[in-house]
Structure 1
């Protein structure tokens, strides 16, 4: 994933997608607004309001048009509420939580960068949401924290986060085709969560030596129905794959890197 900003005309580049935005003199969206219709951001915002912005679905959507929202005292940068709201094409930085997905859910985030947050880049508290083709970088907490069910995180880069890259605490989520690297704790942590599919991700260089961390870690919580399949895992500090549960083995590890370092009797074969 490549992010490019060139002069006064801004370009935000992700694979297969090019956005182009020019400056505008009319400021339609400002700090503290609740967005209930399709809007396009036309300035950088520095906000102390709480939250900085709210997008209310189903009628609210925001194209950030390459601009940046920076929190200055706001705990939450963008709160997405209601059902089926949409956020795309911009940067959220220096908040406690960059984006909070609340309400009924079925929201969509696409081509968003979140960095420099204290708690989590994106907090997924509702269900049936999608985070696609986004970048979650250099957050002091977890990159993406998922408490809801049936969410999708795909084709995103989740790099250099100081806790977990992705933490799963909800059920039946799909985590697929992401690049997750250099998480200080675990690349992907599966907590008290059942029925999740973690597939075809690349997870590398994560963990702290001797601290029970791994590229992909299934905690000792009696989970069931999680499928960890087809992931490329390498160079993680303690183990690439780790399952802290013992027999009966209620989760599946299938087709991951054959030379992965592993821990746990339930990881029989990759």
Structure 2
């Protein structure tokens, strides 16, 4: 009986002036999306932000289409609430292109970010997943590729491509985040900047190259920097006034000044283990504020040049 009743109900839809199109909603600029939606065409938006997605039920599959900000001072797509989802499209000519706020646990996957005027992805909440973001900018107008604020922890940032950001490729200000298997190319400042207070982050298996400053810059404590390739920057990996970091199994090469350096009199308890540092313009290993090599451990590194001579 239940199957027959449902069959009759669907058969009657045309007769009472309804259609299955009512089961979905067209997405318009300025919408707050609270259900599962699929974009059906490009949107050019004057609203700020262009769209909002609110979890837990809100999600947007962009279906390969583009959201364009007609005013580059406006933001693109904001994820709010808990567990909102965004995938499969592009965000163009916005200030901050994608913002993850609210209660977090959002997912952003397979998004192209083009010609932005601010930051590509701003993460301002916890437990988010950001993957397969392709960031393309000429660097003249943009700031950071991905910015994890001081309020954001336990986020996963993986398999993204960041090209030509105006400032840092990835700026970490929060704690306990995982930054894995990203490509950061041709940034104006640091490829990955682990700012003061951004402790206990994991930074592994990233490729950072062709930057205008340091490949990986660490100004905080107890971070793991491992198995990264850091090439053709000014300095490859540097720790400045920070303690208890582990830097191991990285391949660092062809940097203009230093390969791996520790600077600042307050830098202590750092372990620099089993890295390869080569073809540096000045020195492969450098620790000017610890001439006796007693404050930090340098063990098993491959290098050609060093200062002081006790570095190993």
Higher strand share: 1
- Give the distance between the partners of 1:137 and 1:67, measured in 2 at CA: 17
SS of structure 1 residue aligned to 2:76:
strand
Note closer, same or farther for the CA distance 1:67–1:258 as it changes in structure 2 (3 Å cut).
closer
Q: Is the 8 A contact 1:146 1:167 kept in 2?
A: yes
User: Hey, what does 2:225 align to over in structure 1?
Assistant: 228
Q: Is the 8 A contact 2:114 2:136 kept in 1?
A: yes
Q: Is the 8 A contact 2:245 2:271 kept in 1?
A: no
Matching of residues 175-190 of structure 1 within 5 Å: 175-190=179-194
Q: Deviations over 1:223-263 (max 9, x none)?
A: 22111111011111x111111126xx311111100547122
- Give the distance between the partners of 1:228 and 1:78, measured in 2 at CA: 31
Q: Deviations over 1:161-205 (max 9, x none)?
A: 111100000000000001111011110000020110000000000
Greater Cα shift, 172-181 or 131-140:
131-140
Q: Relative contact order (C-alpha < 8 Å, sep 6+): which is higher? A: 1
User: Hey, what does 2:205 align to over in structure 1?
Assistant: 200
1:72 shift after superposition: 1.2
User: Hey, what does 1:85 align to over in structure 2?
Assistant: 84
Rg larger for: 2
1:252 to 246, 250, 253: 246
User: Hey, what does 2:157 align to over in structure 1?
Assistant: 153
Higher helix share: 2
1:160 shift after superposition: 1.1
Q: 2:49 matched to 1:51?
A: yes
- State the 4+ residue runs in structure 1 displaced beyond 6 angstroms: none
- Give the distance between the partners of 1:232 and 1:50, measured in 2 at CA: 39
Q: Is the 8 A contact 1:27 1:41 kept in 2?
A: no
User: Hey, what does 2:145 align to over in structure 1?
Assistant: 143
1:118 shift after superposition: 1.7
- Give the distance between the partners of 2:102 and 2:226, measured in 1 at CA: 31
- Would you say how many aligned residue pairs link Structure 1 and Structure 2? 234
Q: Is the 8 A contact 1:242 1:267 kept in 2?
A: no
- Normalized against structure 2, the TM-score is what? 0.72
User: Hey, what does 2:217 align to over in structure 1?
Assistant: 217
SS of structure 2 residue aligned to 1:134:
strand
- Normalized against structure 1, the TM-score is what? 0.83
- Give the distance between the partners of 2:260 and 2:129, measured in 1 at CA: 30
**What's the Cα RMSD here?**
1.6
